[in-house]
Amino acid sequence: MPELNTFPASAAVKDIAASIQVQGYAIIHDMLDASGLARLRAELEPRIAMTPGSHEAFMGARTVRFGCLLARCEETRAMVLHPLLLELVESVLGAFCARFQLNYTGVMHLLPGEEAQVVHRDAAL
Ligand SMILES: [Fe+2]
Protein backbone atom coordinates (compact mmCIF):
# COMPACT_ATOMS: atom_id res chain seq x y z
CA MET A 1 0.00 0.00 0.00
CA PRO A 2 1.44 3.41 -0.90
CA GLU A 3 2.35 5.76 1.90
CA LEU A 4 -0.17 8.55 2.48
CA ASN A 5 0.84 12.17 1.99
CA THR A 6 0.71 13.39 5.58
CA PHE A 7 2.01 16.41 7.47
CA PRO A 8 1.90 17.65 11.04
CA ALA A 9 -0.03 20.88 11.62
CA SER A 10 3.32 22.49 12.41
CA ALA A 11 4.62 21.90 8.86
CA ALA A 12 5.43 24.91 6.69
CA VAL A 13 2.63 25.97 4.36
CA LYS A 14 5.06 26.07 1.43
CA ASP A 15 6.01 22.42 2.01
CA ILE A 16 2.40 21.24 2.21
CA ALA A 17 1.45 23.34 -0.83
CA ALA A 18 4.36 21.96 -2.86
CA SER A 19 3.31 18.45 -1.98
CA ILE A 20 -0.30 19.10 -2.98
CA GLN A 21 0.97 20.31 -6.35
CA VAL A 22 2.57 16.89 -6.87
CA GLN A 23 0.24 14.51 -5.03
CA GLY A 24 -3.06 16.33 -5.44
CA TYR A 25 -3.87 16.17 -1.73
CA ALA A 26 -2.39 16.32 1.75
CA ILE A 27 -3.53 14.98 5.11
CA ILE A 28 -2.66 17.31 7.96
CA HIS A 29 -2.65 15.72 11.39
CA ASP A 30 -3.69 17.46 14.58
CA MET A 31 -5.17 20.64 13.12
CA LEU A 32 -7.67 20.53 15.96
CA ASP A 33 -6.46 20.56 19.54
CA ALA A 34 -7.92 18.12 22.06
CA SER A 35 -10.76 20.42 23.09
CA GLY A 36 -11.68 21.16 19.47
CA LEU A 37 -11.67 17.47 18.66
CA ALA A 38 -13.87 16.77 21.70
CA ARG A 39 -16.36 19.45 20.58
CA LEU A 40 -16.40 18.03 17.05
CA ARG A 41 -17.05 14.50 18.32
CA ALA A 42 -19.78 15.72 20.66
CA GLU A 43 -21.53 17.46 17.78
CA LEU A 44 -21.15 14.71 15.17
CA GLU A 45 -21.46 11.42 17.04
CA PRO A 46 -25.18 11.76 17.95
CA ARG A 47 -26.04 12.60 14.33
CA ILE A 48 -23.91 9.72 13.05
CA ALA A 49 -25.69 7.35 15.45
CA MET A 50 -29.17 8.41 14.28
CA THR A 51 -28.44 8.53 10.52
CA PRO A 52 -29.12 5.32 8.56
CA GLY A 53 -26.89 3.99 5.82
CA SER A 54 -27.88 4.34 2.21
CA HIS A 55 -30.41 2.14 0.43
CA GLU A 56 -28.24 2.22 -2.69
CA ALA A 57 -25.38 -0.25 -2.97
CA PHE A 58 -23.18 2.37 -4.64
CA MET A 59 -23.51 4.72 -1.67
CA GLY A 60 -22.96 1.96 0.86
CA ALA A 61 -25.50 0.39 3.17
CA ARG A 62 -22.96 0.62 5.97
CA THR A 63 -21.85 4.17 5.25
CA VAL A 64 -23.44 7.05 7.10
CA ARG A 65 -23.47 10.28 5.10
CA PHE A 66 -24.74 13.76 5.75
CA GLY A 67 -23.77 17.21 4.59
CA CYS A 68 -24.34 20.86 5.48
CA LEU A 69 -21.82 20.66 8.29
CA LEU A 70 -21.39 24.41 8.57
CA ALA A 71 -25.08 24.68 9.48
CA ARG A 72 -25.15 21.57 11.65
CA CYS A 73 -21.85 21.63 13.50
CA GLU A 74 -20.38 24.77 15.00
CA GLU A 75 -16.87 23.35 15.28
CA THR A 76 -16.67 22.86 11.51
CA ARG A 77 -16.98 26.63 11.07
CA ALA A 78 -13.72 27.06 12.96
CA MET A 79 -12.16 24.26 10.93
CA VAL A 80 -12.83 25.85 7.53
CA LEU A 81 -11.47 29.16 8.81
CA HIS A 82 -8.34 27.63 10.33
CA PRO A 83 -5.39 29.93 9.48
CA LEU A 84 -3.28 27.06 8.17
CA LEU A 85 -6.03 25.94 5.83
CA LEU A 86 -6.68 29.47 4.56
CA GLU A 87 -2.95 30.03 3.96
CA LEU A 88 -2.76 26.71 2.17
CA VAL A 89 -5.72 27.46 -0.08
CA GLU A 90 -4.24 30.85 -0.91
CA SER A 91 -0.87 29.29 -1.64
CA VAL A 92 -2.23 26.56 -3.93
CA LEU A 93 -5.13 28.38 -5.63
CA GLY A 94 -4.50 32.09 -5.07
CA ALA A 95 -2.77 32.69 -8.39
CA PHE A 96 -5.71 31.25 -10.27
CA CYS A 97 -8.75 32.88 -8.72
CA ALA A 98 -9.99 36.06 -7.07
CA ARG A 99 -11.85 34.29 -4.26
CA PHE A 100 -12.56 30.84 -2.91
CA GLN A 101 -15.84 29.03 -2.46
CA LEU A 102 -16.29 25.93 -0.37
CA ASN A 103 -18.57 23.63 -2.29
CA TYR A 104 -19.33 20.82 0.14
CA THR A 105 -18.85 19.80 3.72
CA GLY A 106 -19.94 16.40 4.87
CA VAL A 107 -19.38 13.27 6.87
CA MET A 108 -18.79 9.87 5.32
CA HIS A 109 -18.60 7.48 8.23
CA LEU A 110 -17.90 3.88 7.23
CA LEU A 111 -19.17 1.26 9.64
CA PRO A 112 -17.38 -2.07 10.13
CA GLY A 113 -17.93 -4.43 7.23
CA GLU A 114 -18.46 -1.74 4.59
CA GLU A 115 -17.03 -2.58 1.19
CA ALA A 116 -14.89 -0.27 -0.92
CA GLN A 117 -16.78 2.01 -3.26
CA VAL A 118 -15.88 1.67 -6.93
CA VAL A 119 -13.60 4.33 -8.33
CA HIS A 120 -15.71 7.18 -9.67
CA ARG A 121 -15.74 10.89 -10.37
CA ASP A 122 -18.17 13.05 -8.46
CA ALA A 123 -20.19 15.43 -10.58
CA ALA A 124 -22.07 18.56 -9.67
CA LEU A 125 -25.73 18.42 -10.60
FE1 LIG B 1 -17.91 10.31 -4.59
pLDDT in tens, the chain (125 residues): 779 999 999 999 999 999 999 999 999 999 999 999 999 999 999 999 999 988 888 888 999 999 999 999 999 999 999 999 999 999 999 999 999 999 899 999 999 999 998 898 887 65
Distance 66 CA to ligand 1 centre (A): 13
Q: What pTM was computed for the model? A: 0.81
**pLDDT digit string, tens, across residues 22-31:** 999 999 999 9
Which CATH number do you get for residue 66?
2.60.120.620
Specify if 55 maps to a domain.
yes
Specify if 97 maps to a domain.
yes
Specify if 120 maps to a domain.
no
Specify if 26 maps to a domain.
yes
Specify if 121 maps to a domain.
no
Distance 28 CA to ligand 1 centre (A): 21
Specify if 119 maps to a domain.
no
Specify if 1 maps to a domain.
no
Look up the domain containing 44 and give its range.
6-110
Distance 120 CA to ligand 1 centre (A): 6
Distance 58 CA to ligand 1 centre (A): 10
Percent of the chain with pLDDT over 70: 98
Number of domains making up the chain: 1
Nearest of 21, 44, 16 to residue 31 by alpha carbon: 16
Specify if 66 maps to a domain.
yes
**pLDDT digit string, tens, across residues 45-55:** 999 999 998 88
CB burial string 55-75: b at 16+ within 10 A, e below: eeeeebeebbbbeebeeebeb
Distance 45 CA to ligand 1 centre (A): 22
